[in-house]
Structure 1
Amino acid sequence: AMLAGIPSRVYALTGLGLIGARQDRAGRLARTALRLLIRGPLETARTRYLFENPDDARLLGLPPDDSRVTIVGGAGIDPQAWTPQPLPPHPPLRIALTARMLWSKGVDTAVEAARLARSQGADLDLGLHGAPDPSNRRAIPEATLRDWSRDGVTWHGPTDDVAGALAQAHVACLPSRGGEGLPRALLEAAASGRAILTTDVPGCRSLVRDGIEGLIVPPDDPRALATAMARLAADPALVARMGAAARARICEGGFTEAAVTQAVLALYADLA
């Protein structure tokens, strides 16, 4: 666009991936370089920004309420296609983690937390639904996933029926280490009326409010996650209330496909 002399531009940063997840010096340098490039030579008076969470806007030095910024509810979800199913019998508390099997998703944190909670007497099971991504260097080896499948943890492999996996669970878990835009897995879980366990990282905390739609814990903290798991295992009524609140959040909070489509069309209409 710069070389072609096109002044009207939309930069859509739908998550920062590994750049956002890394907290070491390389990650900090990469984020600084990104900000200086996009807000420097690549910005024009007619540049607009599209984000899936307000934290990514702040990372580029843009207030979320800036007129150049549009924040959408992820890719959005169709609440008619993802409908709540009755919760399965309880106990045990059944927890589903539906995601690519990547270290950055905190899958190992979930496994360690589930085992810790069980060792302390919590009656729960953790199901891992998803495949490693061989193109991603942060993929968890299949041998490791198979080794984790014991003591209340089961790796089910890839699935094309996420709705079915959620229907068999009480709670969805995504203990991400960061780099998310707004995880599709959380949108699907919330629309399905499931309480959510997640971490205090951009994107995840944009959808889930601690104590309302689910519980939020620090990233990379299996003990805190184990405590949250045990709390939900001991309180079926709380699980049901949070699941209902999660469904309402999708329908009323701007996280539907219709709401996202409307926001994106308005952004381009403004530039046109």
Structure 2
Amino acid sequence: MPHYNNIDSISEDLFDKIKSGEVISYLGLVNDVKPYIRGASVIVLPSYYGEGVPRCLLEGMAMGRPVITCNSVGCRETVTDLPDNRNGFLIPVRDIAALAGSMMHYLSNPTDIILNGRNGRLFAERKFDVNLVNAQMLKIMKVAS
């Protein structure tokens, strides 16, 4: 449901269209996201709300899905565009044409879905593995590990 006091919220009319299935398939609350990620080719989150690394992007990467997200705090940390390691696309905030272009890229280049998804899984293992993150935090805090 939109937050009516939030300047960035969607309109009630658009939210009703989303829920009705006219715009997208709105699933509501689910207990297990794995079947939905498994059924998706790409994880798309055009968020510009700075809140840390979005869990849905990490979950998608862990399941070998490429990501398309905004070049904003938290989101940008999930994408590497190095030519041999690309795992998705960073798009400028509120750039609808870039968002559509990135989605069209995957529609036109389906082998990139597999390659970028594999790269994303490897990137997630290297950068977001909880054991590595915890060891780095202990090192920063100068706590014996």
TM-score (norm 1): 0.46
From 171, 180, 203, the equivalent of 2:51 is 180
From 25, 29, 32, the equivalent of 1:161 is 32
- The question of 1:147 aligning with 2:21 is answered no
Between Structure 1 and Structure 2, the one with more helix by share is 2
Q: Is the 8 A contact 1:145 1:155 kept in 2?
A: no
- The question of 1:200 aligning with 2:74 is answered no
The Cα offsets for residues 209-263 of structure 1, whole Å up to 9 and x where unpaired, read as: 23600011111011111111111111110111000000000112x3111111112
Q: What is the identity percentage for the equivalent residue pairs of Structure 1 and Structure 2?
A: 30
Unaligned runs of 5+ in 1: 1-131
The structure that has the greater radius of gyration is 1
Greater relative contact order: 1 or 2 (C-alpha under 8 angstroms, separation 6 or more)?
A: 1
Distance 1:133 1:193 in 2: 31
Cα shift at 1:144? 3.0
Cα shift at 1:141? 6.5
| Equivalent residue number for residue 117 of structure 2 | 243
Q: How many residues are matched?
A: 137
Unaligned runs of 5+ in 2: none
From 209, 213, 224, the equivalent of 2:87 is 213
Give the secondary-structure state (helix, strand or coil) at the position aligned to 1:147. helix
Cα shift at 1:203? 2.0
1:102-141 aligned within 5 A: 132=1, 137=6, 140=10
| Equivalent residue number for residue 97 of structure 2 | 223
Distance 1:199 1:158 in 2: 24
Give the secondary-structure state (helix, strand or coil) at the position aligned to 1:198. strand
Give the secondary-structure state (helix, strand or coil) at the position aligned to 1:188. helix
TM-score (norm 2): 0.81
Between Structure 1 and Structure 2, the one with more strand by share is 1
Distance 1:195 1:143 in 2: 31
- Residues 157, 165 of structure 1: alpha-carbon distance in 2 compared, 3 angstrom cutoff: same
Instruction: Give the RMSD, CA atoms, in angstroms.
Output: 2.4
Cα shift at 1:269? 3.4
Deviates more, 1:166-175 or 1:141-150: 141-150
